């Protein structure tokens, strides 16, 4: 004869087993989808979408960085203040 705590433990084990099976299926499908998406985006330099977008973004970023750098590169200016005597 099974006691109530034993029955609860059995239900927990069965539930964990069912959830593990469900998570395994989700993990398998998700992994395959991830590989497929990576191949579509980065797998081919000519047809892939990731390289063109990245090059455009990196060029834009570099241009903006150079503009900021040119703003900070200001020649030093000497200021002659009158001395008090």
pLDDT digits (tens, 9 = 90+) for 36-70: 988 887 777 677 666 655 555 566 777 777 776 66
Distance of CA 38 to the CA centre of its chain: 13
* pLDDT at res. 79: 58
Domain ranges of the chain: 4-65
* pLDDT at res. 53: 54
CB 51 within 8 A of CB 45: yes
The structure's pTM equals: 0.47
């Amino acid at each position: 004869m099974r006691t109530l705590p034993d029955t609860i433990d059995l239900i927990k084990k069965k539930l964990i087993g069912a959830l593990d099976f469900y998570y395994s299926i989700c993990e398998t499908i998700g992994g395959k989808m991830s590989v497929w998406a990576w191949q579509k985006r980065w797998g081919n330099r000519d047809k892939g979408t990731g390289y063109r977008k990245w090059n455009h973004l990196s060029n834009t970023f570099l241009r903006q960085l150079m503009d900021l750098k040119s703003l900070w590169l200001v020649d030093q200016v000497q200021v002659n203040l009158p001395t008090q005597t």
